[in-house]
Amino acid sequence: MINLFLIYFGKFTLFISRSFNLGHGSTWPGHIALSVNKKFINQTLKKSRAKIVFIAGTNGKTTTTKLIQTVLEKNGKKVFVNNSGANLLNGMSSSIIEYSSLSGKIKCDYFIFEIDENTLPLSISEITPDYLIVLNLFRDQLDRYGEVDTIAKNWKKSIEKLPENSVVFLNADDPKIAYIGKNIKSKKLFFGIDDKSLGQKDLQYASDSLYCPNCDKKLDYETVFYSHLGIWRCNNCRFKRPPLSDNDASYYPMQGIYNRYNTLACVIFSRTIGIDETNTNNALKKYSPAFGRQEKITINNKNVQLFLSKNPTSFNESLRTIKELNAKNILIVLNNRIPDGLDVSWIWDIDVEKYVDVFNKIFVSGDRCYDMGLRIKYSMKSLNDNSKVRIFENLKDAVEKAVENTNENEILFILPTYSAMLEIRKILTGRKIL
């Protein structure tokens, strides 16, 4: 009964804060409900048929979330998506209030949550997900998230607590993620890639999981798809890539090998909940990218495409993908604000050397444009090659010049960090410059 009252009261608060545009309205009612009844979320959900999906991983959370959301919605499901990480519980209970009818019934089929590295254990201890997707683990913002090994250990410990009726989808090609599946109670399904023609011979430089998570000996890779993801085995303890439940999709809506994994995660999830392949594919064909993730924007008849590049792995994969797309002009924007991480050392883990020759012009901007300028300078064969690099402290100037220097039949590829991506979208879609 108290919960029904909290729903009424919450809806009222939501209405008031929205009508008067008070801001932060979205998590207020949830906060109030939780402070009155700590068990509000678990109790209300137990009564409903709504399923909870958690999506974790260093790279690809937002894209995977949007892929799954698209498939669910195109198949008639009501979906709520939350990506406010730290605000998980308030966001969750607010969304329950918003999606509840006045009789206390939840009118939503799926709640999807993007969970960042540090909040996964806490989130699992508060809410039991029906489905958990674990995509990958790379070095990212070591100053904030800590070391990859520590994160992997914490993840495994908390995932071990999930009950038998939860389903965990694990990326088998990432050794640390595959290892999470060892001795867990919940149902586990592995996805990965089998097509060796997509692989490379060498490991990329910034690879993190070269050593066996089970016995610490060096792993042996038959094929590497990107970073440390591939077909691997340990010749010492015999731990190896687990058998895959899904290894291919009939349609991939986005470029890049990293997006294959995101699509595979979506496909294996959709199949598990009973959506057939044709319906999944039809939905995926209508997919449009999330903010900054291969998002295309047209400005003054010039084509621009944003490739969010926020850590060494995502940067390497952006470079590899745009090289395949025959990129000539690029703009790199490096910020080091809170969402980007304060430390920019990671740019030296990018394999710039492998790609720098194919670009005609490289524009550089952002709070740390000179650091990025140095990284590029030290990737050049001769000091003279540096003449194709132009550095702008002012981002608007950089965007303006880069767009100006792009022909109408070309694409300007922009590789920004997270906060830079938001700034650039504002500049491009606000059409304030030019």
CB neighbour class for 394 (10 Å; exposed up to 12, middle 13-18, buried from 19): exposed
Using the rule CB under 8 A, give the single segment among 139-147, 295-303, 394-402, 423-431 that binds another protein.
139-147
Cβ proximity to another protein: between 78 and 217 the closer is 217
Least separation in angstroms between residue 34's CB and another protein is 26
Cβ proximity to another protein: between 134 and 334 the closer is 334
Among 24, 38, 218, 426, the residue binding another protein under the rule CB under 8 A is 218
Q: Is 346 in the site for another protein (CB under 8 A)?
A: yes
Distance (Å, rounded) from C-alpha 297 to C-alpha 402?
14
Are 177 and 198 in contact by the 8 Å Cβ rule? The answer is no
Are 112 and 70 in contact by the 8 Å Cβ rule? The answer is no
Among 349, 399, 421, 424, the residue binding another protein under the rule CB under 8 A is 349
Among 30, 175, 181, 373, the residue binding another protein under the rule CB under 8 A is 373
3-state helix, strand, coil in the chain (%, to 5): 40, 20, 40
What the block records as the tokens of 40 is 């509000």
Cβ proximity to another protein: between 305 and 318 the closer is 318
177 to 216: interface string for another protein, x by CB under 8 A:
----------------------------x----xx----x
Q: Is 139 in the site for another protein (CB under 8 A)?
A: yes
Closest CA to 172 of 233, 255, 256: 233
Distance (Å, rounded) from C-alpha 154 to C-alpha 31?
27
Least separation in angstroms between residue 333's CB and another protein is 15
Residue entry with tokens 């410059």 = 433
Q: Is 368 in the site for another protein (CB under 8 A)?
A: yes
Cβ proximity to another protein: between 30 and 175 the closer is 175
Are 402 and 367 in contact by the 8 Å Cβ rule? The answer is no
Q: Is 122 in the site for another protein (CB under 8 A)?
A: no
Cβ proximity to another protein: between 183 and 382 the closer is 382
Closest CA to 97 of 27, 11, 16, 209: 11
Q: Is 377 in the site for another protein (CB under 8 A)?
A: yes
Cβ proximity to another protein: between 195 and 393 the closer is 393
Least separation in angstroms between residue 310's CB and another protein is 15
Least separation in angstroms between residue 207's CB and another protein is 9
Q: Which residues of 148-168 are buried (b: 16+ CB within 10 A; e: fewer)?
A: beebbebbbebbeebeeebbb
Q: Residues in contact with another protein, total (CB under 8 A)?
A: 32
Among 48, 83, 105, 142, the residue binding another protein under the rule CB under 8 A is 142
Closest CA to 283 of 301, 300, 271, 299: 271
Residue entry with tokens 């991480």 = 341
Q: Which amino acid is at 135?
A: L
Least separation in angstroms between residue 344's CB and another protein is 8
Q: Is 433 in the site for another protein (CB under 8 A)?
A: no
Among 56, 155, 375, 417, the residue binding another protein under the rule CB under 8 A is 375
Closest CA to 11 of 29, 25, 24, 27: 29
Residue entry with tokens 């944003």 = 306
Residue entry with tokens 């406010």 = 84
What the block records as the tokens of 243 is 């058998």
Least separation in angstroms between residue 217's CB and another protein is 9
Q: Is 291 in the site for another protein (CB under 8 A)?
A: no
Using the rule CB under 8 A, give the single segment among 20-28, 73-81, 240-248, 343-351 that binds another protein.
343-351
Q: Which residues of 369-390 are buried (b: 16+ CB within 10 A; e: fewer)?
A: bebbbebbeebbeeeeeeeebb
What the block records as the tokens of 239 is 């731990």
Distances (CA, A) of 315 to 69, 226, 288, 375: 25, 12, 21, 13
Q: Is 145 in the site for another protein (CB under 8 A)?
A: no
Cβ proximity to another protein: between 298 and 384 the closer is 384
Cβ proximity to another protein: between 236 and 255 the closer is 236
Cβ proximity to another protein: between 147 and 357 the closer is 147
Q: Which residues bind another protein (CB under 8 A)?
A: 139, 142-143, 147-150, 205, 210-211, 216, 218, 342-349, 368, 370-371, 373-375, 377-379, 382-383, 391
